[in-house]
Amino acid sequence: MRKLFLMLSVMLLSVAWICVAEGAPMTDYMSGMAYEMGTGVPQDIAKAVELYENAANAGLPQAQNRLGEMYRDGAGVPQDENLAIEWFTKAAQSGFTPATANLDAMRTGAPAPAPSVIVPTPQPQQQQEAQLPAPPMQEDPEELFLQGRRFLDAGDYGQAFELLLKAADQGHAWAQTDLGWMYSEGRGVTQDYAQAAEWHRKSAEQGNDVAQGNLGWLYVNGQGVRQDYAQALEWFTKAADQGRASGQSGLGWLYEEGLGVRRDRSRAIEYYKLAALQGFRWAQERLDILGVTDY
């Protein structure tokens, strides 16, 4: 079964170029196969059915045939012979030979041909978690981001950077934020605060509160940008208004030190408390230094 699964995985990757020639229906069909088998993405039968239906309703016979098989066998959907016949008929009318064979088998009671997709036996949870995903078959920014994050969490910064960059270039705010972090920390790339600031800014301008808080701290420290407490105040405020602890603690620091604002111990404590209540360790430490314990 493992050998068969690997063969099918290679097949999916090797024929992905068809998606370009056939357009969106074939892309949906190939993505549906990936979700049904758990190839490169977490297995999700409901998502697979949704993608197959998109392709089938657009007239793709492969997807129509696969839906027929799923309804015939009750594979991931309630068993429904009428729907199975309906989908097989549509595919057969397009001259798709496997659908004709499936339709003939249902009408005559003969053994059904082998299904067009063979779903592998689910693996133990620990083994699934240990596996890293293959690069996605389509350049969807959300899929690229999710794949990149899995590599990032696994410590494979090279693969993570490649995927996150593709998503970020398409405007994905969280991917841009992650790239900002990677450049700031030098993870998978040479540390470059200017690049960190650029990516955080792109994300922050889309309203991402994490990027807004991070950009504020870059302005405080003059890392990758000219030190500018007014800009820091602006971005910290945007992040804090969304409840982000890094923004709240940043405002606390500006008011505590009088950076770009009039020094105000009470307001500093107020913002530190908001962050501390979210478990933000640095804000808790500032409150300890200020002798505040009632939070």
What residue ranges of the chain are covered by domains with CATH 1.25.40.10?
2-108, 207-295
Q: What average pLDDT is seen over the chain?
A: 82
Q: Is 166 helix (H, G, I), strand (E, B) or coil?
A: helix
Consecutive H or E run containing 136: none
- The fold of 2-108 is 1.25.40
Helix ranges, the chain (H): 2-14, 18-22, 24-37, 45-57, 61-73, 81-93, 97-108, 125-130, 141-153, 157-169, 173-185, 193-204, 209-221, 229-241, 245-257, 265-276, 281-289
Distances (CA, A) of 216 to 34, 146, 173, 198, 204: 41, 26, 17, 12, 10
Measured in whole angstroms, the distance separating CA 74 from the mean position of its chain's CA atoms is 30
Q: Look at residue 120 and tell me whether its pLDDT is greater than 70.
A: no
**For 200, left (φ over 0), alpha (ψ -120 to 50), or beta?**
alpha
Task: Decide if pLDDT at 26 tops 50.
Answer: yes
Question: In this predicted model, which residue has the larger pLDDT, 152 or 217?
Answer: 217
What is the pLDDT, as a whole number, of residue 205?
Answer: 96
Q: Report whether pLDDT(195) > 90.
A: yes
Where is pLDDT greater, at 115 or 125? Answer: 115
Section 181-190 average pLDDT = 92
* Separation CA 224–CA 119 (nearest Å): 49
* Model pLDDT for residues 253-282, shown as the tens digit of each residue: 999 999 999 999 999 999 999 999 988 899
What's the residue count for the chain? 295
What pLDDT does 25 receive? Answer: 73
For residues 48 and 66, give the distance between their C-alpha atoms in angstroms, rounded to a whole number: 10
CATH of domain 207-295: 1.25.40.10
pTM: 0.55
Cα distances from 150 to residues 30, 76, 143, 173, 187, in angstroms, run 21, 26, 11, 17, 15
| Mean per-residue pLDDT, 107-121 | 63
pLDDT digit string (tens) for 219-264?
A: 999 999 999 999 999 999 999 999 989 999 999 999 999 999 999 9
Quote the DSSP letter at residue 261. Answer: S
What pLDDT is recorded for position 111?
Answer: 73
Q: Is the per-residue pLDDT at 33 higher than 80?
A: no
Please determine, for residue 118, whether its predicted confidence score (pLDDT) is greater than 50. no
123: confidence class by pLDDT, cuts 50, 70, 90 = very low
Q: 98 or 145: which carries more pLDDT confidence?
A: 145
pLDDT over 90, % of the chain: 44
Residue range 43-68, pLDDT digits in tens: 788 888 888 898 889 888 888 988 88
Mean pLDDT of 136-147: 77
Residue 55 pLDDT: 85
User: Which tokens is 164 given?
Assistant: 């996150």
The answer to whether residues 217 and 246 touch, using CB atoms and an 8 Å cutoff, is yes
Residue of higher predicted confidence among 212 and 97 = 212
- Choose between 284 and 62: higher pLDDT: 284
pLDDT band for 179, please (50, 70, 90 cuts).
very high
Predicted confidence band of residue 8 (pLDDT cuts 50, 70, 90): very low
pLDDT value at residue 182: 93
